Structure 1
Amino acid sequence: MDFPKLPPHDGPCLSVVDMHTGGEPLRIIVNGYPTVTGDTVLAKRRYVREHLDHLRKLLMFEPRGHYDMYGALLVESELAEADLGVLFMHNEGYSTMCGHAVIALGRFAVDYGLVKTPTSPETRINIHCPCGLVKAFVEYSNGKTGAVRFHSVPAFAFATDVEVTVPGYGEITVDISYGGALYAFVNAEIFGLDVNKSRTRDLVDAATAVTNAVKSQVKLHHPVSEDLAFLYGTILTDGKDDFSDQPTSNVCVFADAQVDRSPTGSGVTARIALQYHKGLIQLNETRSFKSGTTGTIFTGKAVEETTCGEFRAVVVEVAGHAYYSGVSSFTLENEDSLKNGFLLR
């Protein structure tokens, strides 16, 4: 049966390609967005936050999305070496880095012709994220894409053994590390929780309490831009930070209590930087990181020492797989009382 096109409607029509990386969704917006102005990717991030946020809500929130939906909007980059620029969006606003999205966008860029001449066995894609230029390497053979690895911006331990007062839990010691975004890290056992077995709601409550405590009690900064100087979320770990051939598990709770289904690419980057800072991992030692929610795996390793302002930093390589889940078009009708979407907590 041939279904007709959408009947006449008075709202925008937005086309997307849906993917997932390790179970974490990515909605790539390919058509229908107004022109995003700004001289830099960071300026474009500010513009969409101030002028186009209703479209983020339309695509991320119910009934078209859900509380934990994640999105990517392709934009022009001011960097000559960039193949594409991207803005990341979620239930609260706009991130500065997203590793699971970079893995998906690597495949997408090759498959959808954003790179004119793919090369085997890998095709390099330069993706300009709000945090800076990220280099992705996409497996490519006989016209088919596969696994993706990426080198992110310099990652560093911001502060270790920071004492914060967490309501309901008392004094908690956390580490704070940057992997394109700033995260607080804490062993879930402190809360009597297991990242692989405990209820997701209990993990979310503990992580959110830590995030709120750090935001209110710790002054954050970033040597490149104050746009990057915010705590994105808290990552609860299994405490297995010493180098091992066995996977170490974590659960990332970011934005407005949003749960990452993947091991979290920017989180793995930040966690590797933290482990390197503590002398628990050496250059080119590969670790496996498992999502406590889905059991999916990313690998990560520090590949190069560098600096970021006053911080001793490393370039981290993260690798994983992304898969296509669908292609959709979304619209709204102005008479719809829920036209801007809603979040069911």
Structure 2
Amino acid sequence: MDVIKDLSGSEHEPITCIDMHTCGEPTRIIIKGYPSLTGSLLEQRSQAKSQYDHIRRRLMLEPRGHFDMYGAILRQETELTKSGQADIGVLFTTNDGYSTMCGHATIALGRFLVDTHDLEMFPNRKKLQLDSEKGTTFVRLHAPCGLVEVTVPTKEDGMKSDPSRPVTFTSVDCFATGLNITIRLPNNPVWPSDFSIVADFSYGGAFYCFVNVRQLPFLNSLSKFDMDVANQFTKALKATINNDLELSHVFRHPKENDLSFLYSVILVDTDLGVPLPGSQGAESGLCFFADQQVDRSPTGSAVSARLALAYAHKKLKTGNSWTYHSLVSLKRNDRAAFMGTVLEEVKIDIPMQYPCVKTQIEGHASYTGYHTFVVETNDLLGNDGFTMKGLAE
């Protein structure tokens, strides 16, 4: 396009992205034009936050994105790619910042990294391992939380992904951090004064708080409810947890301080959902993460956390699988659900209150588009981003 050619000589280099969705949740994969970053992956994450956050805002928020957009920045060189333990690295972006793990984006990235043959963008593409017997290709993805192993169904020669079969990934170590914790909420017109709830906390690459919606008289079920009330409640609960020093242990990572923050509150409905073939049961969830961003998918890293939680509660054993629905899969298509499996209990060198497990998550991702985003020199809004919600606050 001539307009792209003309703008490429300006002070703002065009940025190329592949857009995908996993069970309805978007992933904007930034493949070219992002500034170089240095150091370990966590150091690159810090550098992106401090020096290039306007680019995250430019691509995630309006006028190029929207309040619930999600992104992934490919990192060709990290400490794990240098050591040969990983094929490529990634940073995840939200409407508010940079998350430490993302299951839905990992599923999308698995397909894309198999399908691309651009060695400048993915230098290790030719090193991917093809299992011709199973018809799968193996991708080792370095996420900020650690190494995530992705198995992508492929055509016979391994050159293209097979979208008819689900992508699976194996989690980092996952563990519960708090069971049946009572939390009192501040007064609000929506709920009674001195209102208390019981919550669970768990880690699946990020820290999550889980609340069974059946204990909330103002919501009661995920089959039909008030989204505005759900937003008010989860926002108030997250703020209450963050402001209570006695609860800081439920989102403290045993090894990395950069991973120690509460990422999300999820409303769970254990009485809702149909099991996928091969799973023992089903439940549903509604995830509010980052700045009250709503996940359209069942939330992959949260499914890992939920499996670790179920294992700690002794509701699931090693080898058990469970189906996790989002609002999209409940209303539109069961194929938009995730299936999670507890693979094994793992021993780590740090004393833990609850057992640590490896999990496997499977789901489907699809392509939605290809974009080259530009910023005209005279565009007074284009080098940043905004949300209408933010303008009203």
Shorter-chain TM band = over 0.9
Displacement after TM superposition at 1:69 (Å)? 0.3
Q: Which residue in the other structure is 1:182 paired with?
A: 207
Determine helix, strand or coil for the equivalent of 1:47: helix
The one-letter code of the counterpart of 1:205 is: Q
Distance 1:27 1:49 in 2: 18
Structure 1 position 137 matched with structure 2 position 162: no
Structure 1 residue corresponding to 2:351, chosen from 282, 307, 310? 310
Q: TM-score scaled by structure 2?
A: 0.83
Distance in 1, Cα, partners of 2:310 & 2:94: 28
**Post-superposition offset of 1:342:** 0.5
Match of 1:342 in 2: 386
Are 1:328 and 2:377 an aligned pair? Answer: no
Report the CA distance between 1:324 and its aligned residue.
0.4
Q: CA RMSD in A?
A: 1.8
How many residues align structurally? 341
Q: CA deviation at 1:163?
A: 1.8
Cross-structure match for 1:92: 96
In structure 2, what is the Cα distance between the partners aligned to 1:307 and 1:196?
A: 39
Q: Find the aligned partners of 2:13 and 2:171 in 1 and give their Cα distance.
A: 34
In 2, distance between residues paired with 1:276 and 1:96?
23
> Given the alignment of the two structures, is residue 166 of structure 1 paired with residue 185 of structure 2, yes or no?
yes
- Contact 1:223 / 1:310 at 8 angstroms: preserved in 2? no
Of the structure 1 ranges 202-211 and 46-55, higher mean CA displacement relative to structure 2 is found in 202-211
> What is the alpha-carbon distance in structure 2 between the residues aligned to residue 118 and residue 199 of structure 1?
47
The CA deviation at 1:307 is 3.6
SS of 2:172's equivalent in the other structure is: coil
CA distance in 1, matches of 2:345, 2:204: 14
Q: List gaps (5 residues or longer) in structure 2.
A: 331-335
Structure 2 residue aligned with 1:31:
32
Q: CA deviation at 1:210?
A: 1.6
Amino acid of the structure 2 residue aligned with 1:16? C
Report if aligned partners of 2:175, 2:202 keep a CA contact under 8 Å in 1.
yes
Q: Which has the larger radius of gyration?
A: 2
Question: Which of the pair is proportionally richer in strand?
Answer: 1
- Please tell me whether the aligned partners of residues 204 and 253 of structure 1 are also in contact (alpha carbons under 8 angstroms): yes
One-letter amino acid of the counterpart of residue 219, structure 1: S
Q: Secondary structure of the equivalent of 2:301?
A: helix
Q: Structure 1 residue 177: deviation in Å?
A: 0.3
- With normalisation by structure 1, the TM-score equals 0.94
**Is residue 195 of structure 1 aligned with residue 230 of structure 2?**
no
| Aligned partner of residue 222 in structure 1, secondary structure | coil
Gaps of 5+ in 1: none
Letter of the 1:272 partner, please give it: L
- The Cα of 1:204 is off from its aligned counterpart by 2.0
Counterpart of 2:237, as a letter, is V
For residues 140-162 of structure 1, what are the alpha-carbon distances to aligned partners after superposition, in whole Å with 9 as ceiling and x for unaligned?
Answer: 12343132101110100001111
Equivalent residue runs for 1:1-345 within 5 Å: 4-6=2-4, 7-8=6-7, 9-38=10-39, 40-75=40-75, 76-79=77-80, 80-113=84-117, 114=122, 115-116=125-126, 119=130, 120=132, 121-142=135-156, 143-146=159-162, 147-167=166-186, 168=188, 169=191, 170-191=195-216, 192-193=218-219, 194-217=221-244, 218-220=247-249, 221-240=252-271, 245-295=280-330, 296-308=336-348, 309-311=350-352, 312-339=355-382, 340-345=384-389
Greater shift in the superposed pair: 136-145 or 92-101: 136-145
Question: 2:78, 2:154 → 1: CA distance?
Answer: 25
| In structure 2, distance between residues paired with 1:190 and 1:307 | 34
Q: Once the two structures are aligned, what percentage of the paired residues are identical? A: 41
